[in-house]
Structure 1
Amino acid sequence: MFDRWKKKKTATAIQVTAPLSGKAVPLSQVPDEAFAAGHMGQGIAIEPSEGKLVAPFDGTVAHVIKSKHAVMLEDPATQLQYLFHIGINTVGLKGEGFTSHVQAGDQVKSGQTLIEFDMAAIKAAGYPTITPIIVTNADEVASKVEGQIGDVVSGQDHVLTIELK
């Protein structure tokens, strides 16, 4: 009888486009246990085909790692936070081969270049270029995070579908 007064909460699903061109793979294929086991959060990884990371949505740069191999973005519309981590153990390069085009606090537009990186230099130094894309606060904000695998083009193909709580 009072059911009509209950608010119906419907899940909202958002899609995130690829921030890199390449091949999207499950996080379990990342050669780093922290990412592969989901300890850093839920998401997907991309084996890049070019050295350019772009913003997959309009948002705010929450943090740029000092060695420029990773950046965190926040989507103000959903409060979701994302970590884009170029390569594995690339912190050891101390910024060599990475050019950041943003800094913390910057407002970015979808498709804007965040970081450019020299894939050949990273590989020559012995580091994988596979790039995890992690929803760092998914446990608090999302009820489900699904990744799409296969070849992707940055700014065009969706790599994550996230159901908000």
Structure 2
Amino acid sequence: GDGVAVVPQEGTVCAPVSGTVAALFPTEHALGIMSDDSSAQVMLHIGIDTVKLEGKGFHALVAQGDYVDAGQPLVEVDFDVVRAAGFDPTVFVIVCERSENSTLREHASGPVAVKEPVVWLSE
């Protein structure tokens, strides 16, 4: 799906939308959130090939089935562990499912703060 890549500046990955945690990988490096209105499912993937770390350096703060608010901390990540193992720490925010008539467009680029929109999804 479409989405954005975020280069993290600190070790807490936060919810990009409010909704229900639909999936949480056992390695805690990826999760999916179904938005409040079910108009979109968003996947967060923390790092490239970080599944190979088998959870080392990741600590989930939520569980599958939990409700989360936009901006709520989801996973604490020790990015020093990620980098030391030779992996890229970039966090991918991917819109996996959305209504057919919706449009996804970039809202911000460059440094962004927690709760600051980086994409817009509109009908």
Structure 2 length-normalised TM: 0.92
| Percent of aligned positions that are identical | 35
Report the AA paired with residue 158 of structure 1.
Answer: P
| Deviations 1:14-51 (CA, angstroms, capped at 9, x unpaired) | xxxxxxxxxxxxxxxxxxxxxxxxxxx00111011011
Instruction: Tell whether 2:45 aligns with 1:111.
Output: no
The alignment partner of 2:83 has SS state of: helix
Alignment CA distance shift 1:77-1:129 (3 Å): same
After TM superposition, the structure 1 = structure 2 runs for residues 2-151 of structure 1, keeping only pairs within 5 Å, are: 41-138=1-98, 140-147=99-106, 148-151=108-111
Partners of 2:102 and 2:15 in 1: how far apart? 23
Cα displacement (A) at 1:109: 2.0
Q: How many residues end up aligned between the 2 structures?
A: 122
Point out the structure with max Rg over C-alpha. Answer: 1
Q: Distance between the aligned counterparts of 1:58 and 1:161, measured in 2?
A: 14
Provide structure 1 residue ranges, at least 5 long, that are not aligned to the other structure. Answer: 1-40
CA contact (8 A) 1:87 1:130 kept: yes
SS of the aligned residue for 1:151 comes to coil
**Matching residue of 2:121:** 162
Provide TM-score, normalisation by structure 1. 0.70
3-state DSSP of counterpart to 2:48: coil
The code of the aligned residue for 1:104 comes to Q
Residue by residue, what CA displacement relative to the aligned partner does 1:86-141 show, whole Å, maximum 9, x if unpaired?
A: 00000000000000011111111222211010011100000000111000013x44
The farther-off stretch of 99-108 and 83-92 is 99-108
Contact 1:42 1:134 in 2 (8 A): yes
In the alignment, the residues of structure 2 paired with residue 142 and residue 95 of structure 1 have an alpha-carbon distance, to the nearest angstrom, of: 37
Instruction: Give SS of 1:137's match.
Output: strand
Q: Deviations over 1:37-83 (max 9, x none)?
A: xxxx0011101101111123321000001110011001122421000
Output the aligned Cα RMSD: 1.3
